[in-house]
Amino acid sequence: MYGVQEPSGRDLLFVPLGGSGEIGMNFNMYGHDGRWLIVDCGIAFTQENGTTEVIMPDPRFAEQRRDQLEGIVITHAHEDHLGAVVHLWKRLQCPVYATPFAAAVLRRKIADAKLTDSLPLITVDQDLPLSLGPFSLEFVDVTHSTVESQAILITTPLGTVLHTGDFKLDDEPLLGRTTDLEAVARAGQRGVLAVISDSTNATKEVASRSEGELVVSLAQQVEDAGPNRVAAVCFSSNIARIHALVRLAEQHDRHPVFVGRSLMRMVAAGQEAGYFGRFETEVAPRDFGYLPPSKVMLICTGTQGEPGSAMDRIGRQRHRDIALDPDDVVIFSSKIIPGNEVGVERVHSQLSAQRIKVVSEKDAFVHVSGHPGRPELRRLYDLARPDVVVPVHGEARHMAAHAELAQSMKLPAVVPTNGAVVRLAPGPAAVVGQVESGRLLVPQRR
């Protein structure tokens, strides 16, 4: 144990409570001069006995230091980075900071949780610095599979940490900004104490492909569908992908039909944040049946075969408004998250049994990752040149591969587990203790 895990003005601590050794549930804490900063507060999903359960990090360590919390800063609008805010806020009771799109997503969650009058949500300008107690924050635009994703430069008198959040290097993201490598290079010239970085694709020796490249392949899939209906299944938070699918629908004289509550909420949040206006050719699900098959482009939730999702209900022929016919085409424009294979295969089989054509990433180029492969990580470290690399956001094998890559570049690496107390300064960086961590199950509505 590192004393009582209370940071003085002479040290800078990093404590992940979620997201280290696992995909999802990202919850990271930085401690300096008696104060703590939380970066991200996310959830993960698991499928058990035909239902989807939500799990999140146990925040006990943070809760016990509630009076020392400066706030929660959200890097981007994915559930594994912001989905636990409304569930855990009563235990933490500190301000929440988010960029406009993430704030628009959170506002809807806050309203559902009836926390509008109590939870202080502060919308930040990603082009301006933010000071929270002893922490000075500078936001760095990064490309990911949703808009306004941010890396954060966190500076204290002991040095600067680059917390990457989720990112990739994509010169043609279609919507939103590209990764600001110049800002990373400037930070590297000033000196970077540590990079706390995404490890999801650290085992892959290829860079992630571009959204601009993907849209050409998706266009061919729509063309190949001919007179039949097309249904595209994607993550509801992938606003760029949704925008691209709507444009493809328009180009092929099809009407976009949004199917799934979370998808419609994300579209509304994107409109609120100014990423697109009203889609003039959109048709409501209840009017789906009036359209000839050749005029339909369904955009649906259910990438992971989640019970009760739009595509799950369509596959079971239990959707109130939507039904597909033989030779219609369903494109799963998403990756299969480890652990969800059974649910995804179940939905694929249900569709195939109805002679509906299923196209997944196993069959064609229909999805690109939002995370960096090894070439992208190397480029990041060439520019940042940190004193140490701390892999997070990945299973143990991803983080080990990430550490090996860093060491091959002559950069030391410290690989934490959830609950590890990592002393970043004074150096050399090392794990100096362990605090309580764990998982909580979110009660499901029945």
- Which CATH number covers residue 110? 3.60.15.10
**Among the three residues 306, 334, 359, which one is the final residue of a domain in this structure?**
359
Q: How far is CA 319 from CA 97, 211, 262, 297, in A?
A: 38, 30, 16, 16
pLDDT in tens, 141-160: 999 999 999 999 999 999 99
**Contact call for residues 234 and 204 (beta carbons, < 8 A):** no
Per the domain annotation, does 329 fall within a domain? yes
Per the domain annotation, does 55 fall within a domain? yes
The distance from CA 97 to its chain's CA centroid, rounded to whole angstroms, is 16
Considering the domain architecture, whether residues 141 and 175 belong to the same structural domain is answered as yes
Taking residues 169-173, report their average pLDDT: 93
Taking residues 182-209, report their average pLDDT: 97
Q: What pLDDT does residue 131 have?
A: 98
Domains of the chain: total: 2
Considering the domain architecture, whether residues 32 and 143 belong to the same structural domain is answered as yes
Confidence of residue 2 (pLDDT cuts 50, 70, 90): very low
Q: What pLDDT does residue 315 have?
A: 96
Q: What pLDDT does residue 231 have?
A: 98
* Share of residues in the chain with pLDDT > 70 (%): 97
Considering the domain architecture, whether residues 225 and 313 belong to the same structural domain is answered as yes
Q: What pLDDT does residue 50 have?
A: 58
Considering the domain architecture, whether residues 347 and 378 belong to the same structural domain is answered as no
Amino acid identity of residue 315, one-letter, is: G
Question: Is residue 444's pLDDT more than 80?
Answer: no
Taking residues 399-411, report their average pLDDT: 98
Considering the domain architecture, whether residues 260 and 308 belong to the same structural domain is answered as yes
| CATH number for 346 | 3.40.50.10710
Q: What pLDDT does residue 52 have?
A: 66
Per the domain annotation, does 4 fall within a domain? no
Per the domain annotation, does 364 fall within a domain? no
Considering the domain architecture, whether residues 22 and 160 belong to the same structural domain is answered as yes
Which structural domain, as residue segments, surrounds residue 173?
Answer: 12-206+369-442
**Among the three residues 359, 378, 400, which one is the final residue of a domain in this structure?**
359
Considering the domain architecture, whether residues 309 and 328 belong to the same structural domain is answered as yes
Q: What pLDDT does residue 336 have?
A: 85
Per the domain annotation, does 5 fall within a domain? no
Considering the domain architecture, whether residues 354 and 429 belong to the same structural domain is answered as no
Considering the domain architecture, whether residues 84 and 231 belong to the same structural domain is answered as no
Per the domain annotation, does 198 fall within a domain? yes
Q: What pLDDT does residue 68 have?
A: 97
**Among the three residues 296, 326, 359, which one is the final residue of a domain in this structure?**
359
- Averaged pLDDT of the chain: 94
Taking residues 352-374, report their average pLDDT: 96
Q: What pLDDT does residue 446 have?
A: 42
Total-model pTM: 0.94
Considering the domain architecture, whether residues 335 and 377 belong to the same structural domain is answered as no
Question: Is residue 3's pLDDT more than 90?
Answer: no
Per the domain annotation, does 7 fall within a domain? no
Q: What pLDDT does residue 1 have?
A: 43
Considering the domain architecture, whether residues 143 and 122 belong to the same structural domain is answered as yes
Considering the domain architecture, whether residues 283 and 377 belong to the same structural domain is answered as no
pLDDT in tens, 43-97: 987 766 656 678 999 999 999 999 999 999 999 999 999 999 999 999 999 999 9
